Structure 1
Amino acid sequence: MPEYKQFPLSDTAEGLTEADILDWKVKPGDTVTVNQIVVEIETAKAAVELPIPWAGVITELLVEPGQTVEVGTPILTVDVDPGGAAASAAANGSAPAKAPSAEAPAEEEMKPLVGYGSKAVSAHRRARKGSAPAPAPAAAAPAPAPVAQPVRGGYVPLAKPPVRKLAKDLGVDLHALTGSADGGVITRDDVQRAATGTPANSTVDTAAGYDPATRERRVPIKGVRKATAAAMVQSAYTAPHVTEFLTVDVTPMMELRAKLKNSREFSGVKLTPLVFAAKAVCLAAKRTPDINAVWDEAAQEIVYKEYVHLGIAAATPRGLVVPKIRDADAMSLSELASALGELTDTARQGKTTPADMLNGTFTISNVGVFGVDTGTPIINPGESAILAVGAIRDTPWVVDGELAVRKVMQLSLSFDHRVIDGQQGSEFLADVGALLSDPAVAITY
């Protein structure tokens, strides 16, 4: 007989409480293997792909794309004994390898699951009301258009995952719509017209959340944007911020960069000014350890970190994220350049894992990439300082008493005045500036 298991949404090692279902990678009737990716979710920090810990046949998808689900909620059902191997073995008098029992503790079931964190899912879950597992449907030939599959006793309307998410955001019931695309597939325009009450032949702009009556567009606050806002408010109202500024002639740094780019060691490595700033921060932090410490309110202690997990603020389609370069202080310049290149590429693709954004000790915000000279950055919670690196511009500058055109940039350092006094903050900023204006100073550190 078939043996059904329900796969719950689990914590992905970041204290997760809920997540949005972005895209299913499987459908009812699909055969899956252990650790196969079955769904992509969006947490408050990143998009994450989840593997399944069992092999079998998918019998039911319990939630739709775009739906927000709490941790522990079952999201799909799988038949782990689709061929009735257990029954056949019993009839033959043998005992086959037993699939994990539905009553077994969840932490035991999740052991083979790749990519999950240390927090186990609770062993006991309440059964979903009116949701009895159904046998896996027979395999069908591919159809030219999406085919509705049974979900929670009804049918999934014919729509792609992004359209389902849009419908959820706008409060539109897909079951009430008739798709305008081939095969009755529901499109974004169908959802937008339903949300605004606009006839199908209307030319009114129906962008997501747009109200033609008020000429306003409203977007729900969720995901990365919601988490970023909460973190920044917490930081601004918890840590007393002080911001200092320094203008630096970085012409020697740019000249060294031009030389190193032609060297064998840096062949194929993207050597940007940000790499030099990262190295300068790591070196300067050793001379001013307060910069790399943190205020522990609960313990009433200042915790000094003897390592630098360097955060790099990155703008992505999902919002601002701050992935970390672990033990950046132990890396050479070329290693930092490689790590920074991988980090930014991964962030822009939206594939930074939640674990990669935890436990930073210091952050750099490269506002110069947008052509901005400077700013007053807000400290990330759990850290005590953040450095904003501005654009490098050709600027009139006095050198040895004479006016010259030099490569000049501005630095701004925000720090937590509970941990860092003005002296320490100023010394650190001056050290970073000295290293960028004359990289040879590094050999004295």
Structure 2
Amino acid sequence: MGQQEKVATSLAGAVGAEIGASLTAVDAELARRYPGDPGTRQPVHTVYVPADTFAATTLRTWGDQALEALDEHAPDAAALAGVLGIPQELAEPVHDRVRAKLEREPVEDLRIDFEDGYGPRPDAEEDEAAARAARLVADAYGNGTAAPYMGIRMKCMEAAVRERGIRTTDIFLTGLMRAGGLPDGLVLTLPKVTYPEQVSAFVRLLEAFEEAHALPAGRLGFEIQIETSQSILAADGTAAVARMIDAARGRATGLHYGTFDYSACVGVSPAYQTSDHPAADHAKAVMQVAAAGTGVRVCDGSTNVLPVGPAQQVHDAWRLHYGLTRRALARAYYQGWDMHPRHLPTRYAAVYTFYREGLAQAASRLAAYVAKAGGDVMDEPATAKALSGYLLRGIDCGALDAGEVTGLTGLTRADLDGFASPRRGGLTVTAP
């Protein structure tokens, strides 16, 4: 032991107290605006189904059609790997898990669409469709056939359809209440948001519904769909999407990028309206930065190239979808849209390959961090958070098994939760 150092200070304790007092409001504002990830499961995709075609059998029908496509065009691991370029060592576990997923839980998030996929209808017809949607969703949650997340996309808050959107939302939510209450997996999507005031108006609608049914304040959240250039850059030059998150007053759960409406809004020709267009990348980057730390999650768009027709056409469409999904995952967009049942095999193939190919390295780095063992990478608490989040997302979607992650890291699910999100609680390990 060396000589003990003498510790001396120059400042009175009142200085620190004064500084702390001066930052009290900032501390509260940081906690309010940037609470961090909610610590809940994020679906890997959202499926949109027009309200007039949604049925009690829709989820199983999508799964069956996806399985038929897989059996026809990639019946075994080697075939799937050959089409998509999956590494040989991952081909079998990915193929097996994709098939199991399509059998067990083909859709993670379903939105019954009353907007573009449904269009304008006579009021009586939409009234009935909204009531029917509520009944079918309530039945699905009651009998165990529901997707983890389900809900509706109503018409937007623009003047021409505002009244209709409000009424459809009211009918749907009222139907759920009459059927036993709001399910935990309920999701609402507000489309074509251009001004923060439209978000505020929707918040008022949800507040009124909660008051009418004596629900806890804030029970109803919603996603904001980003489909116009004005939602990214306002007329005054500010990032409108950040103001929209604030206008939601804690109710915003996601930002969904609308590939085709946004592309058309900024003048992109139809042949180039894709989720990897530079205009799309810019919009999603702004969304990502605005949402960071707020607990609001970002969802990528979709491809309208369908895997139908001859085998070569199906394979080409699959390769496109697989590539776009992998690209989005690398850019931290962990959710996207799927427009057709035959997109499901490549959605899960891309997601499962992404998580399985990085499992060993992520687990090794996290285990070394916890053990303060060092290694060839010097990780910090923020990286441990990211590594845990990566493993948790892999477990949640079925790409990884909780047991194999525990075996590789020595950490339980609760341990991973503690690293990944301050809302979850759990382990606190200082940096090596």
User: Do both share a fold (TM > 0.5)?
Assistant: no
Q: TM-score, normalised by structure 2?
A: 0.24
Q: TM-score, normalised by structure 1?
A: 0.23
Relative to its length, the structure with more strand (as a share) is 1
Bigger RCO (CA 8 Å, 6+ sep) = 2
Relative to its length, the structure with more helix (as a share) is 2
**Larger Cα Rg: Structure 1 or Structure 2?**
1
